[in-house]
Amino acid sequence: MRATLFQFPDSRPIVVGSFGDAASLSCATPESIANECDIAEIRLDLFHREIAEMGSELWGHLTSFPLLFTARRKTEGSPFDLSSSERSALLDTALPDSSIVDIEVISITEMSGLIGKFQSRGIPWIASYHDFDKLPTLQKLEAQAGLAKDAGAAAFKCAAQLGSIDDLTTLATFQMSEQGIPLSTMGMGTLAPVSRLLCAQAGSVLNYGFMGTRETAPGQWSARQLREGIRSLKPIS
């Protein structure tokens, strides 16, 4: 049984604090991160070398706080080209401590066995999709959300590069649409900061900021700044 249960989706926008460097992760405490976010993301792909030496001890001091584990593939934003089996092994290591897990839509088939493990334990998982070049069309986003829904994901997450104000409004329009699955949306690039507030205001269920000193995606707020901003907003009805 994992250490910390977490209600998801919640009735309020959840702020995810994502660790981008091992030093910040090692010195964090459940009390310190509670002041910045609602759930902490540990990017297993970023720390795969440390995990090879330490295993779950890398985050063992944080298991009383809700943890989201991600093992990102290179085409979806990881700086490391880890194989499917390597990423699956990392997520399997984190299974006992997982409150939520992130698996890319493109990885659903190759990780179906691992998804079954998490589902058998009642651990929700989110299906994610990233485009670092452009904002996909609404039709593409709807198709990816449909794949996430059909696979049993608890939410569909999309992060995409925004090149214009029109992109920003299109992303918010998608966030407010009914896809039959909770949505988590955010932009990357110059318009990323404002997009993360707007999408949260439009109902994004998971909203990501960085913990420590290093961003884990282009244009992130710090988790503390993001939570303060979101708390000052009223939902768009």
Question: What mean pLDDT do residues 21-46 have?
Answer: 95
Residues written for the chain: 237
* Whole-number pLDDT of residue 215: 82
Confidence (pLDDT) at 1: 44
Q: What's the confidence (pLDDT) of residue 218?
A: 77
Residue 90 main-chain phi, psi, to 5 deg:
-65, -45
Q: Residues 72-126: pLDDT tens digits?
A: 999 999 999 999 999 999 999 999 999 999 999 999 999 999 999 999 999 999 9
Q: Say whether pLDDT at 23 is over 50.
A: yes
Rounded mean pLDDT, 2-9:
69
Strand partners for 14: 206
Going edge to edge, which strands form the sheet with 206-211?
183-188, 155-161, 125-131, 100-104, 67-70, 39-43, 14-19, 206-211
Q: Which fold has domain 14-231?
A: TIM Barrel (3.20.20)
Q: For residue range 164-209, what is the model confidence (pLDDT) as tens digits? A: 999 999 999 999 999 999 999 999 999 999 999 999 999 999 999 9
Confidence of residue 131 (pLDDT cuts 50, 70, 90): very high
Domain residue ranges of the chain, discontinuous segments joined by +: 14-231
Residue 14 CA to residue 232 CA, distance in Å, equals 14
H or E element at residue 159: strand 155-161
- Band of residue 146 on the pLDDT scale cut at 50, 70, 90: very high
Q: What are the φ/ψ torsions at residue 115 (nearest 5 degrees)?
A: -60, -40
Quick one: pLDDT at residue 228? 95
Residue with tokens 């670092």: 132
Return the half-sphere exposure (C-beta side, CA atoms, 13 A cut-off) of residue 106.
12
CA distance 87 to 72: 7
Which residue, 91, 101, 87, 77, is CA-closest to 216?
77
pLDDT band, residue 3 (cuts 50/70/90): low
| pLDDT at residue number 113 | 95
Range in 5-14, 16-25, 49-58, 89-98 with the lowest mean pLDDT: 5-14
What residues have CB less than 8 Å from 126, skipping those under 6 apart? 100, 101, 102, 103, 148, 153, 154, 155, 156, 157, 184, 206
pLDDT in tens, 55-64: 999 999 999 9
Report cis status (omega within 30 of 0) of the bond before 9.
yes
pLDDT tier, 220 (very low <50, low <70, confident <90, very high otherwise):
confident
Distances (CA, A) of 49 to 80, 109, 115: 11, 26, 24
- The confidence score (pLDDT) of residue 212 equals 86
Rounded distance between C-alpha atoms, residue 134 and residue 162, angstroms = 6
Residues 6 or more apart in contact with residue 68 via CB below 8 angstroms: 16, 39, 40, 41, 42, 98, 99, 100, 101, 102
pLDDT of 132: 94
Rounded CA gap, 129 and 122, in Å?
A: 23
The C-alpha angle 127, 133, 134, rounded to 5 degrees, equals: 80
Structure tokens at 72: 């990102």
